[in-house]
Amino acid sequence: MFKNLENIDWDRLESELGEKLVTLLKDLSADDKKVRSEAQMELWYASWHQGTLTWPAYFIVPFFQERLSRESEPDLLESILIDLAHLATAATFFGTQPVFKYEILELDKEYPSEYQEQLLIELGWVNGTFEAVYKGINLYLNLLEHNYPKVRIAAAYTLSCCKSEAERICNLMIQHFTCESDEMVKATIPLCLAFLSKSTLVDAAFCEEILNSNESDIVKLSAGVSLAYIAGENISNNAFNRLLSLIKNKELFTHLWEHYDNPMATAHYWMIINFFSRLDDSKLAQILVVLAEPEQQIYDCGDLLQELAFNWQKIPEGTTIDQLTEPQQVILRLIADRITTNQERLNTYNLLSFMGIKEVGLGPQEKLINFLNGEPLKYDA
């Protein structure tokens, strides 16, 4: 962060970024809240787009952090923190991140050299931006003590994206939980720990203790959802049954879903249902049955199909129903039941593409029923 904004060589920065971006960076320090807010929004649009970083992001991060250290408006603090969370997890245009496996486009000798050169350039942007965001960890930790709960929530979400000090952050979050008074801040912390467990070891006992405590139901639900990911197949039957009973409360689960997915689904590339992905097939199938109930109306079967049961994978031609996992069979049978009772139309995009079926009308429904009755899957030509 900058000790003195007046010491910045604005002319040099303008030669790098252009006049418009430099004006916006200056506006972040304006006395007028509306000007600061508009500048923050425009800078956000200039640095991140649908999970992809643009080259100015590296320059913008320190100015966001400087604003955090001085800002008094909770709304702006919250917005900047969530922006930084996204910048700490974004990728190149090629869908890659430093030290991560290429997820969208794998470059090899068959690709023109200019692709490889551009990838290296963009990886440099991403790596520099990540490191810039990580430099603000102590600032985000301080904001975890802010007077406004929504700022503390946003600070926790930002910290969950700082993998460079995951172990330290987890330990401090657990300490903070014990003295936190707001239930939604408390409900945020286990979810952040679960996400950070991808980068460091997190003791599942912490979440299990919360699940068995006198905390509010929303906090216990958060702990149970997080435990499902941290413990995975090793979650105890007692803990799982407690979690399942909490999920059956539609309003409660919807509340947690909105609390997490709305700000973080595009930062973590993760939705609340993804926390169930490490459960064994039997337990996952039980979760799917509850979430797919019509009265839940949280996710339609197509979403569940993609996110959990099939993991975006197409069912191979020639497959029979008994070759699918229990969660996959559960989802297909639930969809078939809804079709039969006219509760839900067959979703062409979400379901039929996974079964290699292209036609519309009654034909696809019949093919699904036949598949469930034991016929091998046959793709449409």
3-class secondary structure for the chain? Answer: CCCCHHHCCHHHHHHHHCHHHHHHHHHCCCCCHHHHHHHHHHHHHHHEECCEECCCHHHHHHHHHHHHHHCCCHHHHHHHHHHHHHHCCCECCCCCCCCCCCCCCCCCCCCCHHHHHHHHHHHHHHHHHHHHHHCCHHHHHHHCCCCCHHHHHHHHHHHCCCHHHHHHHHHHHHHHHHHCCCHHHHHHHHHHHHHHCCCCCCCHHHHHHHHCCCCCHHHHHHHHHHHHHHCHHHCCHHHHHHHHHHHCCHHHHHHHHHHHHHHHHHHHCCCHHHHHCCCCHHHHHHHHHHHCCCCCCCCCHHHHHHHHHCCCCCCCCCCCHHHCCHHHHHHHHHHHHHHHCCCCCCCCCCCHHHHCCCCCCHHHHHHHHHHHCCCCCCCCC
pLDDT of 381 reads: 67
Distance (Å, rounded) from C-alpha 247 to C-alpha 243?
6
pLDDT of residue 280: 96
Give the pLDDT mean for 122-127: 79
Average pLDDT, the chain: 84
The larger pLDDT score, comparing residue 330 to residue 360, is at: 330
Half-sphere exposure of 111 (CA within 13 A, CB side): 12
Question: Is residue 342 very low, low, confident or very high in pLDDT (cuts 50, 70, 90)?
Answer: low
> Looking at residues 275-302, what average pLDDT do you find?
79
Check whether 306 has a pLDDT greater than 60. Answer: yes
Over residues 6-41, the pLDDT tens digits come to: 566 666 666 566 678 888 888 998 999 999 999 999
- The arithmetic mean of pLDDT across residues 121-125, rounded, is 76
Confidence of residue 368 (pLDDT cuts 50, 70, 90): confident
Least confident of 144-148, 181-185, 228-232, 283-287: 283-287
pLDDT for 357: 65
pTM of the model: 0.85
